[in-house]
Structure 1
Amino acid sequence: MSVHSEEIVLLNTADEAVGTAPKLASHHRDTPYHLAFSCYVVDPDGRVLITRRALGKKTFPGVWTGSCCGHPAPREGLRDAVRRRLATELGLVPDTITSILPGFRYRAAAADGTLEHERCPVVRATVTDTTTVPAPDEVEEARWWTWPECLKLAERPEASPWYRLQLAELEPLGAPLEWPDAGIEGLPPALPW
């Protein structure tokens, strides 16, 4: 699926799907509320894969953030969307995918005024094979960081707004391999597991 043909799932205030729209054309100063996800990839030592968004990205180019984020396609389940984006962006195949912050949502404006307005469940993916193959149109850099390094990044302005908000909720849960499974009950109605 080309980035130019990707569709996002539009949501109402009850997080129910109310339609679709082209991904690229929908991100602007008045971006509609839509479905997304964030994923933190964790290796067997508890390190987290942190990425820097490609400099050519339309929204938030060059910011440091979690491992992978994306938009589930219409009728695509969360786990399938995570697997698809991890393969596309980083060449990774997850061993497990766990729901961590199923109710996360945020709204943030980039320096150029482009708005993100997403219901964005957060998942943890574990991997044993830590070899990454970043897609240059998606990822400028990818590095394995310790949890204390991840927490320090959340205090820096070069971190994405959603990363800072997510880390505020993830920090009380302990180290990444200790994050409890939050279950799927809190996922939006528009997003099957």
Structure 2
Amino acid sequence: MGERILLVNEYDKEVGYEEKLTVHKKGLLHRAFSIFIFDKNGRLLLQKRDSLKYHSPSLWTNTCCSHQREGELLEEAIHRRLKEEMGFDCDLKEIFQFTYKTEFKNELIENEYDHVFIGRYDGTIVPNKEEVEDFKWAHLNEIKEDIKNNPEGYTYWFKLIINKVEQYIQNNEV
């Protein structure tokens, strides 16, 4: 059996655990997180998802995203996964939550209660080659322009939340 992730209700209350692929086949609501890391120049660290990912392969997205595992606190999960995917850790602050649901061409379904975190990091990036095909730093205006011109090159959830993250950045210090 594969990794088991946390199922939640529409109020983000824990309701159980299920195997990750089963969750995505059935479209069950589950807790997720999305991490946005900025550098001192205000650039966002993007990752290109590995070409072998079970959904959204080879698409650009936010720095890191994943799920809370069985027996793990959300605070533990965000730091674990940032280290696993990008090879570093830093302070993270939750800035908002949202839900979304979408079906992919391979019939998998994302139905997530997503916690969005922000952080700042200026050190070395050592991406996990099994998770990350590529990475780059870019300013939000450059990213938004590229999304406008190449929307198929970005993940569904990233396109949903980039404007809200930008609003937060404009009104707060990272």
CA shift at 1:132, angstroms? Answer: 1.3
Equivalence map 1:74-93=2 (5 Å): 74-93=70-89
Between 76-85 and 54-63, the greater mean CA deviation after superposition? 76-85
Separation in 1, partners of 2:21, 2:107: 15
2:168 to 152, 173, 190: 173
Shift of the 124–19 alpha-carbon distance from structure 1 to 2, 3 Å rule, reads same
Aligned to 2:30: 34
Gaps of 5+ in 2: none
Q: How many Å separate the matches in 1 of 2:115 and 2:51?
A: 25
Does the aligned pair in 2 maintain the 1:57–1:137 contact within 8 Å? no
Determine the structure 2 residue equivalent to 1:191.
none
Match of 1:186 in 2: none
Q: Distance in 2 between matches of 1:10 and 1:180?
A: 33
Q: Which amino acid aligns with 1:171?
A: E
Q: Match for residue 100 of structure 2? A: 106
State TM-score, norm by structure 2: 0.89
1:145 aligned onto 2:99: no
Kindly state the Cα deviation for residue 104 of structure 1 after the two structures are TM-superposed: 1.4
More helix per residue = 2
CA displacement, residues 149-168 of structure 1 (integer Å, 9 cap, x when unaligned) = 22224332211110011013
Larger % of strand: which? 2
Q: Taking every aligned residue pair, what percent have the same amino acid on both sides?
A: 30
Q: Partner of 2:144: helix, strand, or coil?
A: helix
TM-score (norm 1): 0.81
Is 1:164 aligned to 2:159, yes or no? yes
1:56-75 deviation digits (Å, cap 9, x = unpaired) = 01121111110000101234
Residues matched between the structures, number: 172
Aligned CA-pair RMSD: 1.9
Alignment-mate amino acid for residue 125 of structure 1:
G
Whole-angstrom CA distance in 1 between matches of 2:152 and 2:19: 30
In structure 2, what residue type is equivalent to 1:172? Q
